Amino acid sequence: MHSWHDFHITGYAVDGKRRELVFELEWPYDPSAEPKRAKLGFSGVECYFLEHDLGGNIVYSFEERPLREFLTEWTDRFETEYKWGWPKFWRPVPHPKRPVEVEREESLQTLSSMQLRCIELSSSYGLSGWILAVGSHHSSMDV
């Protein structure tokens, strides 16, 4: 994946029906740099979590991380939120409550079989979070 370090996030959009999430990025420093503006898109989005949007956000990185590590880190949050249906892959069907280790392993198998990748957004300022998606792509935007 391209390094988007220090690009500014000028906007983002979610299309739930198409399962897409797109970030609009801008390089506000060197005017000769390419790309100056870009769209970074994620397709086959199963789930995402974004927080700390300050309107003017600066990317530190978009980095892939192992699914098992991600699920281990987020288990407590998923256990709190699943009763409201989030995320869809965690305890997805009504059944007796199982140990979290069983739930985590089943979720890992489900996400892996869907060929999902976990991309973590870290920021120098503002927006952070993660996206579970099948693919990613970027394109330059006209200035």
How many domains does the structure of the chain reveal? 1
| pTM of the complete model | 0.91
**Burial readout 108-142 (b: 16 or more C-beta within 10 A, e: otherwise):** beebeeeebbbbbbebeebbbebbbbeebebeeee
In which domain, by residue range, is 83 found?
8-140
End-to-end, the C-alpha distance of the chain in Å comes to: 22
Token readout for 2 is: 């391209």
User: Over 80: is that where the pLDDT of 67 sits?
Assistant: yes
pLDDT of residue 141: 81
Whether 80 is in a domain gets the answer: yes
Whether 91 is in a domain gets the answer: yes
